[in-house]
Structure 1
Amino acid sequence: MSSSDDDTPLVKGRANGVKSRERITKTDDKAMDKEIPSNGHVEPGLSIRMGPVEDMDVDTPLTNGNVNGKRKARSSLSNGKSYKEEGSSEEDDKPLSKRRRTSQQTKQAKQDSDSDMSDVPLAKTRKPPKVTAAQIGESSDSDTPLTAKLIKEKESIEKAAEKEAKLIRSQAKKEKATGSKLKSKIESESDDDVPLAKKKKQPAKKAANGFKKDESDSDAPLKKKAQPKNAKVKAESATPAKKGKAKAKEEETEQDREVLEEEEEYRWWEDPTKGDGTKKWTTLEHNGVVFPPEYEPLPKHVKLVYDGTPVILHKDAEEVATFYGSMLHSTVNVENPVFNKNFFEDFTTILDKTGHGKDKDGKTVKIKKFEKCDFKPIFEWFEAERAKKKALPAAEKKALKAEKDAAEAPYMYCMWDGRKQKVGNFRVEPPSLFRGRGEHPKTGRVKKRVMPEQITINIGKEAKVPEPPPGHRWKEVKHDQEGTWLAMWQENINGAYKYVMLAANSDIKGQSDFKKFEKARELKKHIDRIRKDYQRDLKSEKMADRQRATAIYLIDQFALRAGNEKGEDEADTVGCCSLKYQHVTLKPPNTVIFDFLGKDSIRFYDEVNVDPQVFKNLKIFKKPPKTTNDDIFDRLTTSALNKHLTSYMPGLTAKVFRTYNASWTMATLLRKMKSTGTIPEKVKDYNNANREVAILCNHKRTVAAGHAGSIEKMQEKINGLRYQVWRVKQMMIDVDPKIKKKKGAEYFERPEELDDEWVKKHQEFLVEEQRQKVRKKFEKDNEKLKAEGEKEMKSKELEERLEAADELEQKFKKENKTGKVEAEGKGVTIEKLEANIDKFNQRIETMKVQMEDKEDNKEVALGTSKINYIDPRLTVVFSKKFNVPIERFFSKTLREKFDWAIKSVDENWEF
C-alpha cells in the first residue's frame, strides 16, 4: 500500500462500524510507545484478580404470591450434575442444511429492541469476587506473592513445552532418516539373498520425567499385551473398588451387564484409525423417542387469581400458568424482571388466542397486568403434590420407578453396526419456561410442546422405522450415515436444533473425546513455532497480521474463547475475535480489563497483565474514531484465524489451545509430584494441581450459592466429632477417677465453642437422627418381608424400636444435670477408650483436610478443568501412581464416559 493510503482516516468496517487502516505506520507505532509509561512494569501472562462485587440500584421486583421466598441451596456438584463437553463435535454431526447460520453484520435492530425495555429495571450485576490467598493455596506468611510464583511456574512450563516440541521434531527427523537407510539396506541385500543381520536391541529411551518410553507408540495410548485366545480380558479400574460398589452392581440392569461384557471384547481405542472416515455407521436400529405425558388440568378448586377473582382458563393457557406457578420457589427466576416480562408476553399471547379467563358466573375476565396475577394457589397445590410424592413409602417409590424404567427400556439402547449402544437423551423435552444461563435475553419465554410432526428420525435403510404416537406422523425419516444423531427437532426459543445422541460412555462419544485429546497432544509438537511466530507478528506492519497475532496470544495465554459473530436473534455473547470497543479497558502500563458476556451468557470479568507489545496493539486497535460497538479485531474472523492455524497442523483450531494448555500444565506438574499421606491428603494434592491448572488457564467461577452452608455443615460434623471425643474423655474419668489428676484437668475440658446451648441442640439432633434411622430400617425390613411373601411387622414393633432413641434422650438429660458421663459398653478400659479417641481424632483431621480443600476450590472451576480440558488419562496416571481409587476423582457417570482412559494407560503414560 502507498504511503498516502497510510495517512487516510479509518474507514467503515463490518458491523457498520469504524475499521482500522490496512497498515500501521512507523509514526503511529512510535507515537504509541511514547504514550505508554515505562514505570511500574508487571510481568505479563497471568490474571491478577477477578474484580470487585458491584450491585446496581434496582426496583424491588414483584414475585406474584411468593412471600419471603429464599433461593434454595445448590445441591452437590457430584450429585447428578449434568456436564457439557467443551468442543463437542455435535455441530459436525448435524445435517448441512440444519447447521446454524451466523450473520456477518451486527444488526441495529438489536439496539432498537433493547430500547423497548428501558423502563424495565435490570437485574443485579455481579462481578466475580477477588481471588484470595486462601483460595489459591497461598500461605499467609509467604514471602513471595502467589501471582509471582505462578508467573514463574508458567514461564517454566512454556520453556519445557518449547524444549519438548523441538525434541519431538528432532526424533521424528532421525526416525525418518533411519527408516530410509534401513529401507535402502534391505533393498540392496535382497538381491544377494543375504539375510539382514540382527540389530542389537536398543534400550528404551527415557522421557524427560524419568519414565521409560517406547518410541513406537509414544503418541498413542498404551496397548494391551497380547493374550492367549481363550484368556479372559479384564476391564479393571485403577484401584480396588469401594464398599458401595456391591450396591451399585445390584442396581445394574441385565442390558447394562450385556453392554459391559461386549465392551470388554471391543477396545476401540487400540485402533487409532477407527472412525476416521466420514461414514459413521453401516446399520442402525432404534425405537425413536419418549414423549412427555399430556397435560393434566388442575383440580377445579385450584385457580389462578386475577385482581382478587379466581379465573377459569382454557387448558392451554392453564398449562402455561402452571409453568410459572409451580416455580415460585425459584426466586432467582421469578424475581428477574426480564424473566417476568418475557413470560407475561407469551402468556398473554396464548390468552388472546384462547379467550382469556372466566369467572364463576362465566363472565370474561381480561388478564392484562402481570402485577394483578396471583399464582400462589397453583404453587401451593404443586408443593402439596411434591410433598405427597416425597412421603410415599419406599416400596411404592421403587414400584413407580420400576414401572417407568420398564416403559422406557426399549428406548434406552440402539443397535449400532450390530453392537448394543446406550442412548443418551432419548426423552423429548417437556414444555416449560426457558431459563437460560447467565443474563440470557430470552429467559422466561414459553418452550412449546414438541410434536411428532417436528421430529426427524435417522435410521438404517433396512431397519424398521419406529411408530409415531397414534394419529401422528414423523416430519421426515432419513438415513444419514455421516451423522451420529438418532432423532432431531427444532426448539422454538432460539431456533436451535436438539439431537438425540448416544450416551457419554458409547463408542462414538468416547472416540470423539479421544480424538479431542489426541489433537491436543499433537499440538505439543508445534507449540514452540506457533508462539515464536505470533510473538514476531505482534510487531507486523500489516494490521490483519498484528490483529491475528494479538488474538492468538490472548487465546493461548488467557484461555479466551475464539468467539463467533452473532445473528440478531441470538444472545449477545462474544469471544476474542468478536470483542467490541466497550469490552476492553486499558490501564497503563500493561493491564487489560475484560468485561463481556461469554459462553452461555455468563459474565466474563477479569484483569490481566499482558505483554507491553500486546497492550500497545490493543491501544492501536481502539484508536479514535473507534467507539462503542466497534469491533476491536475488525480485520479478523474466527474462520480466518482457524484457517491460519491449520497451516501449522491439520485440524488445529483456537479451542485446541485450551485443552492443550490445561493438559500440558497438569502433565508437567504431575512429573514433579510426590504425593504421600492418607487418601484425602493425596486427593488434596491432586486438587491443588488441578487448581493451579484452573488459575493458569483462567477457569474461574463465582462462589456457589450453597457454599457457605456446605462449609457450615462440614464444620458442624467436625464439632460433632469433637463433642464425641469430649464424651469419651469423660467416660475415662468414670472408669478411673484418678486419671484426671494424672493427665491434667485441661485434657478433659470441653472446647469453648461447644457451649451449653450448642450441646443441647446437638443432643436433640442426635436423638432425632437415631429416630430417623430406626424408621428407615423398619420400612426396609417390612419391604423385605413383603417381597418374600411374609407378614409385615405392625406399628407396635416400630414403637418398641424407637425406645432406644428415647433412652438416648434420657441419658443426655441425666448427663446435663449431673455433669458426668457414664462409660458405655461391656469391659470398658482406659486403653479401649483412648483407642476410640484416636479414631475420632483421625476422622476429624480427615474432615479438616476435606473442608480446607473445599474452601480453597470455591472460586476455581475444578470440574471444568477435570472434565473438559485435562486429558482424563492424566487423572488415571495419578490414580495408579499414588494408589488412589479412581472413584475419588470420577463419579459413576464420568467413569463410564472416560472408560477408554481408565482402561488404556498405566502409571508411566505421558501426555
Structure 2
Amino acid sequence: MSSDASMLSDDDRPLRAKPGPSHTNGNGHIGMNGNGGADRSSSFSDDDEIPLSQTTRTKSEPMTPDVRNLKRKKVAAESSSEDELPLASSPMKGAKSAAVPMPGAVLATTVPTANGTNGKRKAAVKSKAIVDSESDDDVPIGKTKRPTNGKAKGKPAKKKAKKEESDDDFGIESEDEKPIAKKRVASSKGKRKQAEESDEDDEDDKPLKKPVAKKTPAKRVKKEEASGSETPQPKKRGGKVKKEEGGEDAKSGKKTKKEEEEEEIFRWWEQQDPNGDGSDKWQTLEHNGVYFPPPYEPLPSHVKMKYNGKSVDLPAAAEEVAGFYAALLESDHAKDQTFNKNFFTDFLTVLKKNPPRDGTKITKFELCDFRPMYEYFEEEKAKKKSMTAAEKKEAKAARDALEAPYTHCTLDGRKEKVGNFRVEPPGLFRGRGDHPKKGCLKFRVKPEDITINIGAKVPKPKPNVPGDWKAVTHDKTVTWLANWIENVNGNYKYVFLAAGSSLKGQSDMMKFEKARELKNHVDKIRADYTKDLRAKPSQIRQRATAMYFIDRLALRAGNEKGEDEADTVGCCSLRYEHVTLEPPNFLVFDFLGKDSIRYYNRVQVDAQVFKNIRVFKGDIKEGDDLFDRLETSHLNKHLSSYMKGLTAKVFRTYNASITFQQQLDEGTPEKGTVQEKLNAYNHANRMVAILCNHQRAVPKTHEQSMVKMREKLRGFKYERMKLRHALFGIDPKFKKKKQYAEDESDLDDDAVIEHEEQWKAREIEKAEKKFQKDNDKLAEEDKKPQPGSVLKDKIAEIESEFKRLKKERGTNKAELKRDKPTEKIEDAIEKLDDKIKTFKLQMEDRDAGKEVALGTRFDHGCVVQEARRAYQQNILEDPSE
C-alpha cells in the first residue's frame, strides 16, 4: 500500500498477508520486477472514476439472486510497491486456498495444484464449474467438452426481508445508506479492447481446423441462464395471475416482460466444429456497412488562428487541420519536436491546396498562434459539461439513433454485435512512445477507401455519407466486415465483430485449446532446448537461448521493424545494448517492447545461458543484433515440428494460464469474505500482467480518486462514531464492551470538523440542484415555479442540523433523528464494520493496480476474462458463506 492510503492506520492494518517474493514461480518462469512503468505514456483510459463494483454482504443478510449473479464490473486495478517484487509469490502462511480451477488455465498447467475448493459446494456446481486438471489429459483437444451455462438444481432464494429503518441518521449520502452488498452491480460481459497494432498477424483470418460436424441450431435461453446463474429465481406470490409456458399472461394473452427480455443465444462453444467445414467462417452475412463521422463544420467567423499576430482567414479544409493541433495545444504532444515538425509539414501541404483567403503566406511554425481556437474548444467543452442530465440524455439518444443500424449484423441468421463499427475520424497521429511519424495528418476516410464484406445474395448497404464503396466482396473464409488502408503507416484497418460474438469466441477458444495442447509437448521442448544450450553450432545455441527467454520470461518473439516505425523489439530482435551481464549469472534486460512499453528486468539465469550471452556479445558491438543468426520465422518453424500450429506466441498464453491459476491457489483464502477473494483474484490478474509486461503510467485521476475514497471511508467512520455515542447515551455499560470502547482511527477533532464542513457543502449543493431541477420541470409543464423562499427554508434547515452536530463535537454524545432500540444500533454498527472492512480492501485493490494494465487482449486478458465469470460465480454461490 502506498502513501495514497495514508488514512489506513491503527485498525486499518492489512487484512490479509500478501504473498512474499521468491525467485521462480514453480513453472519455470523467472520473476520480473516490473520496473520502468513510469517511463512511458499509457495507451489506456485515464478515467479512474468508476463505481465500486466489488461488494460483500453481512452475516445477517440473506443471499439474494442479485448477489448470486454478481458480476464484478471491469475495473482497471492498480499496483504500487508490489511491482518492485519478483512475479512469483510464496504461499500465504496459515491459510488454505479457496481458488476455483479455471477452464483452460488449470488444464494447461504442468504443476499439480492443491485441492483448495470449498467442500460445502454442491455436487451439481462442481460438475459445472470446477474442471479437474487431469481429466482431459488423454482426450484429443478437439473432443474436449466445454463447460456450459445451464442451470443447476438448487434451493430457491430466501424471500427478501423487510427493509429496516435507515441506519444513516446523520445524513450520509443515500448511496451509502444500504450495505454495499445490496447494491446491484452492473453486469460485465468481459469486453476487451481491440488492439490497433499487433506484433503478429491476426489469427481470426486463419482457418480454425477441426473435424467436420453439423452446426447445432441456436437455442432460446433466458438471460439468467446465459449469464451462468446456478440458482433458480424465486416464484412470485401474492395472488398474481400465473403465467403460462411461453411467457403469455393467462388473463391478457400478452407477452410478459421476461419473455420480451429473452434473447436467442447461439451456443457456439457446444459445437464440435465451430467453423462448419473447417474453412468457411460463415454462410450468410448481412450488415449496414460502417458509420462515418459527420462532415466538418467550420468555426464561427470570429474564431481564427493567428500568424505573426494577425488573424488568418482559412478555408474549411485548412481550418480543420489547424483545429486538430489547437485541440492538443496544452498537451504533451504540442511540446514534442517530432510531433510539431510532422504536423507543420503536413499542414503546409494542405495549405498549398487550400491557401488562406486573405493571401497570408504561412512559412514558419513559430509564428503560428492557435490559442484563439484552443480557447473556443475549451468553452465548448465547458458547455457540454454544464448540460443538464435531461439534455445529455437527449443528446445521447439522438447519437444512439444515428448509430443503431451499424451496431449489429446478421450472421447465419443470428443477430451479432459489431465491434469497431465507427470509422476513425481524421486527426493527428499520436502513436505510442517515440514513434517517428507522430504528428502526421490522418486523412478523412471516405466510402471510396473502404472494401466491405457481405453475403452474396444480400443487398449492398448504402453509406451514411455521399459516395460509394471501393469494392464489395463475399469472402466466407475471413471474419472482417470492412477494411481500408490508413495513410500514415500504410496498415490495413479492419472492422470485426465484438469481443463477445461467436466468431471472436471461437478464435479465443481455439487459442486456449492450442495452449492446452502445448501441455503434452512442453516437457520435451524444454528438455531439447536445455540440451541445445550447449550445442556447438552457434545458430542452434542462439535458438535455444531465445526459446529459454520466451518460455521463462514470457517475451514476445519480435519481428523486423522498418525505419519509419517505432524502435520496439522482441526476443529475436534484441540488440547488444538491450542485455547487460552481471556476474556471476545475472542478466539485466532494458528495451522498448510492443507499443513502446519499457521492459526492464534483472533476472538470475542458468550458468550456460549466461555463458552463451557473453559469447554472443563478444563478437558484436552496440547496435548489432544479439541473435544475429536467428529469425522469428525460423524459430516458429522449429516449434511447429513439435506441434502443428505452435508458435512462440502460444507460450505466452500457456504460461499466463499457469501463473494465473497458481496465484489463485496460493492467494485465495478459504474462509475469506467475497471482497478478500476478489482481491486475491485481482492480485493474480496483476501478477500475470507483470509477467506479460502489461504496464501503464499511473492514471492522472488516480490520486483524485483515492482522495475521494478516503473521504468516503472517513464518512463511514464518522457514522460509526455517532452510532457508538448514541449507544452510550442509551446505556453507559456499552462503553466497557471491547468492540465499542476504542475510538475510530484517524478521526480526530480536525477530521470531524473537515468532514462536517464538506458534508454541509454537499448537502447545500444538492438542495440547490434539486430546486433548479424541480423548477425546470415545472417550467416544461407551464406551471408556476417555486419561490426562492423554498430554497432558503431548505438551506436554513440544513444549517440548523449542522449547528446541532457542531454542539455535539467532543462531548461523546449523539442524538439520533429517530429513536432506535439498542439491538438495531448494534446491528447498524456491525454492518458498518463490514462495510469499512470491505471498502478498505477496495482501496487497497485500487491502489495496488495503478501501474498495471489489466485489459490487454491477447496474452493475459483472455485468460482473465474467460476465468472471471466462473470464478465469481463459484465464490458467491455458497449460501453458507
TM (norm. structure 2) is 0.71
Match of 1:93 in 2: none
* Among 622, 632, 635, the residue aligned to 1:638: 632
**CA–CA distance in structure 2, aligned partners of residues 795 and 472 of structure 1:** 51
Larger radius of gyration: 1
Match of 1:348 in 2: 348
Name the CA shift for 1:353/1:695 in 2 (closer, same or farther; >3 Å): closer
Match of 2:195 in 1: none
**CA–CA distance in structure 2, aligned partners of residues 739 and 72 of structure 1:** 55
1:826 aligned onto 2:815: no
Following superposition, the deviation at residue 740 of structure 1 comes to: 8.9
* Among 380, 383, 386, the residue aligned to 1:385: 380
Following superposition, the deviation at residue 712 of structure 1 comes to: 2.8
Match of 1:808 in 2: 798
Maintained 8 Å contact 1:428/1:450 = yes
Match of 1:297 in 2: 298
Name the CA shift for 1:425/1:596 in 2 (closer, same or farther; >3 Å): same
Match of 1:554 in 2: 549
Name the CA shift for 1:802/1:486 in 2 (closer, same or farther; >3 Å): farther
Name the CA shift for 1:53/1:414 in 2 (closer, same or farther; >3 Å): closer
Name the CA shift for 1:650/1:776 in 2 (closer, same or farther; >3 Å): farther
More helix by share: 1
Name the CA shift for 1:379/1:159 in 2 (closer, same or farther; >3 Å): closer
Cα offsets for 1:271-315 (capped at 9, x unmatched): 131216222222222211211111111111111122322222121
Maintained 8 Å contact 1:285/1:460 = yes
Match of 1:601 in 2: 596
* Among 559, 563, 572, the residue aligned to 1:564: 559
Number of residue pairs aligned between Structure 1 and Structure 2:
706
The percent identity for this pair of structures is 47
Name the CA shift for 1:224/1:685 in 2 (closer, same or farther; >3 Å): closer
Following superposition, the deviation at residue 563 of structure 1 comes to: 0.7
1:274 aligned onto 2:274: yes
Name the CA shift for 1:661/1:230 in 2 (closer, same or farther; >3 Å): closer
Mean alpha-carbon deviation: is it higher for 374-383 or for 556-565? 374-383
Q: SS in structure 2 opposite 1:453?
A: helix
1:49 aligned onto 2:43: no
Match of 2:250 in 1: none
Name the CA shift for 1:402/1:729 in 2 (closer, same or farther; >3 Å): same
**CA–CA distance in structure 1, aligned partners of residues 367 and 749 of structure 2:** 50
Match of 1:836 in 2: 828
1:374 aligned onto 2:382: no
Match of 2:578 in 1: 583
Name the CA shift for 1:132/1:221 in 2 (closer, same or farther; >3 Å): closer
Name the CA shift for 1:159/1:581 in 2 (closer, same or farther; >3 Å): farther
Q: SS in structure 2 opposite 1:644?
A: helix
Following superposition, the deviation at residue 575 of structure 1 comes to: 0.7
Alignment of 1:456-855 (within 5 A): 456-468=451-463, 472-624=467-619, 626-670=620-664, 674-696=669-691, 698-732=693-727, 735=730, 738=732, 747=741, 751=745, 754-756=748-750, 758-774=751-767, 791=781, 795-796=785-786, 800=790, 803-804=793-794, 806-816=796-806, 819=809, 822-855=814-847
Aligned CA RMSD, in angstroms, stands at 4.4
Cα offsets for 1:426-473 (capped at 9, x unmatched): 211111111222332222221111122111122222221122467522
Q: SS in structure 2 opposite 1:605?
A: strand
Following superposition, the deviation at residue 224 of structure 1 comes to: 7.4
1:421 aligned onto 2:405: no
Match of 1:446 in 2: 441
Match of 1:67 in 2: none
Match of 2:189 in 1: none
**CA–CA distance in structure 1, aligned partners of residues 659 and 135 of structure 2:** 20
Following superposition, the deviation at residue 723 of structure 1 comes to: 2.1
Maintained 8 Å contact 1:621/1:633 = yes
Name the CA shift for 1:288/1:782 in 2 (closer, same or farther; >3 Å): farther
Q: SS in structure 1 opposite 2:580?
A: strand
Following superposition, the deviation at residue 380 of structure 1 comes to: 1.7
Q: SS in structure 1 opposite 2:332?
A: helix
**CA–CA distance in structure 2, aligned partners of residues 350 and 849 of structure 1:** 54
1:237 aligned onto 2:227: yes
2:872 alignment partner AA = S
Maintained 8 Å contact 1:730/1:748 = no
**CA–CA distance in structure 1, aligned partners of residues 807 and 590 of structure 2:** 61
TM (norm. structure 1) is 0.69
Following superposition, the deviation at residue 528 of structure 1 comes to: 0.7
Match of 1:319 in 2: 320
RCO higher in 1 or 2 (8 Å CA, sep ≥ 6)? 2
**CA–CA distance in structure 1, aligned partners of residues 346 and 131 of structure 2:** 62
Mean alpha-carbon deviation: is it higher for 670-679 or for 449-458? 670-679
Name the CA shift for 1:427/1:877 in 2 (closer, same or farther; >3 Å): closer
**CA–CA distance in structure 1, aligned partners of residues 770 and 366 of structure 2:** 49
Q: SS in structure 2 opposite 1:578?
A: coil
Structure 1: 5+ residue stretches without partners: 1-40, 57-70, 81-127, 144-156, 166-203, 244-253, 886-911
Match of 2:180 in 1: none
**CA–CA distance in structure 2, aligned partners of residues 242 and 610 of structure 1:** 53
Structure 2: 5+ residue stretches without partners: 1-21, 53-78, 94-104, 114-126, 153-216, 234-254
Q: SS in structure 1 opposite 2:341?
A: helix
2:802 alignment partner AA = F
Q: SS in structure 2 opposite 1:477?
A: strand
Following superposition, the deviation at residue 524 of structure 1 comes to: 1.1
Mean alpha-carbon deviation: is it higher for 367-376 or for 641-650? 367-376
Maintained 8 Å contact 1:346/1:446 = yes
1:74 aligned onto 2:46: yes
Following superposition, the deviation at residue 616 of structure 1 comes to: 1.2
**CA–CA distance in structure 2, aligned partners of residues 221 and 307 of structure 1:** 68
Name the CA shift for 1:741/1:136 in 2 (closer, same or farther; >3 Å): same
Alignment of 1:213-228 (within 5 A): 219-222=144-147
Alignment of 1:400-411 (within 5 A): 400-411=395-406
**CA–CA distance in structure 1, aligned partners of residues 862 and 49 of structure 2:** 18
Mean alpha-carbon deviation: is it higher for 232-241 or for 318-327? 232-241
Q: SS in structure 1 opposite 2:323?
A: helix
Following superposition, the deviation at residue 822 of structure 1 comes to: 4.8
2:838 alignment partner AA = T
Maintained 8 Å contact 1:583/1:595 = yes
Following superposition, the deviation at residue 831 of structure 1 comes to: 4.2
Match of 1:180 in 2: none
Name the CA shift for 1:722/1:631 in 2 (closer, same or farther; >3 Å): same
**CA–CA distance in structure 1, aligned partners of residues 724 and 712 of structure 2:** 19
**CA–CA distance in structure 1, aligned partners of residues 414 and 106 of structure 2:** 44
**CA–CA distance in structure 2, aligned partners of residues 241 and 142 of structure 1:** 32
* Among 863, 868, 878, the residue aligned to 1:875: 868
Maintained 8 Å contact 2:149/2:226 = no
Name the CA shift for 1:490/1:592 in 2 (closer, same or farther; >3 Å): same
